[in-house]
Structure 1
Amino acid sequence: METAFRKIDIDKYDEEVLRDEDLYDADPRDPGQVLEEARQRQAAVRSSLAKNDTAGALAVILDNAPYGPNVDEAKQITLSTLLTILNSTKATEITSVIKALTPDAQDTLMKYIYKGMAMPGWGDISGSVLLGWHEKLTEVAGVGSIVRAITDRRIV
């Protein structure tokens, strides 16, 4: 049975198709620059964690997060660094760390929590860690943070 007809991209013939690049502006930075910034932030986070400055480390990694196409390696570095921060934070400190973040950083954190939950087997992080952060973040930022994280087209 011939199934090659199913591999045709019919959207390329439709003039009114809605693409991701029509919904938001692409990251204006060069992909190489984004990757270098992600590596620099990873080093800054390590030094902040060595000083027990979890809030500072989280603020650094959430600032100007990579999004859009062609920056997959930077996205992976940022995600793994963020998961390291979440995993190394004591449960009693989570609420105070979240309150120290700006509302935009809280929304970005929510995106990364959902991205961590989407990983197969949740990667190297325990499910209870991600769910605990999600619970505390929802208490502080409200349900609106969930809605903003899910509806934002800029995928981290």
Structure 2
Amino acid sequence: MDREFRKIDIDAYDEDVLLETELYEPYPYDPATALDQAKQRAAAVRSSLAKGDVPGALGNILDEAPYGPNVEDAKTLTLQTLVTILNSTKSTDIPGVVKSLSQDRQDTLMKYLYKGMGMPGWGDLSGSVLLGWHEKLTEAAGIGCIVRTMTDRKTV
């Protein structure tokens, strides 16, 4: 029996194939520029944390978060910087900080929380810290934040 027909990639002949690049705009910066920007944001975050400005630090790191396949170093540095913010925030301050964020920033924070949860044993990342932030973020932003995070193609 001839089974060669099963090895044909029929999607190659389909005109309506949806490409990854058609789902969202690509990240506008090359990897080196993205890494430089992540380093600048990390320095600004350290400065904000030294002043005790946690909402400012979070806003700085969550604006223009790197996404896409070619900026892994910038993504890693941004996640490390965010973890520093999460670990240095008192649990009693979290609800106020989360409520002060815009909807876009809340959604981006949720993306980073899920990314952190997917990396067990990573650095000084604590599951209890992530779950605490997740709980407070869900209370403030609602279930819609989770849905938007899960359906967004721009992965951080």
Alignment pair present for 1:86 and 2:89: no
Give the letter aligned to residue 92 of structure 1: T
Which amino acid in structure 2 is aligned with residue 49 of structure 1?
Answer: L
Q: CA deviation at 1:19?
A: 2.8
Q: Normalising by structure 1, what TM-score?
A: 0.89
Cα distance between partner residues in 1 of 2:28 and 2:10: 26
1:115-130 residue pairs with structure 2 within 5 A? 115-130=115-130
Relative distance call for 1:17 and 1:143 in structure 2 (3 A) is: same
What is the Cα deviation at residue 22 of structure 1? 1.8
- Structure 2's unaligned 5+ residue stretches are 1-6
Q: Distance in 2 between matches of 1:59 and 1:18?
A: 34
Following the alignment from structure 1 to structure 2, what is the Cα–Cα distance between the partners of residues 136 and 148?
Answer: 17
1:7-156 to 2 correspondences below 5 Å: 10=9, 13-15=12-14, 16-156=16-156
Unaligned runs of 5+ in 1: 1-7
1:11–1:116 CA distance, 2 compared to 1 (3 A): farther
In structure 2, how many angstroms separate the alpha carbons of the residues matched to 1:68 and 1:28? 10
Q: Which moved more, 1:18-27 or 1:89-98?
A: 18-27
How many Å apart are 1:120 and its aligned residue?
Answer: 2.9
Superposition misfits of 4+ residues, deviation over 6 angstroms = none
Q: TM-score, normalised by structure 2?
A: 0.89
Within 1, Cα distance between the matches of 2:8 and 2:131?
38
Letter in 2 for 1:53: D
User: What letter matches 1:13 in structure 2?
Assistant: A
Higher alpha-carbon Rg: 2
How large is the Cα RMSD of the aligned pairs? 1.8
Number of residue pairs aligned between Structure 1 and Structure 2: 149
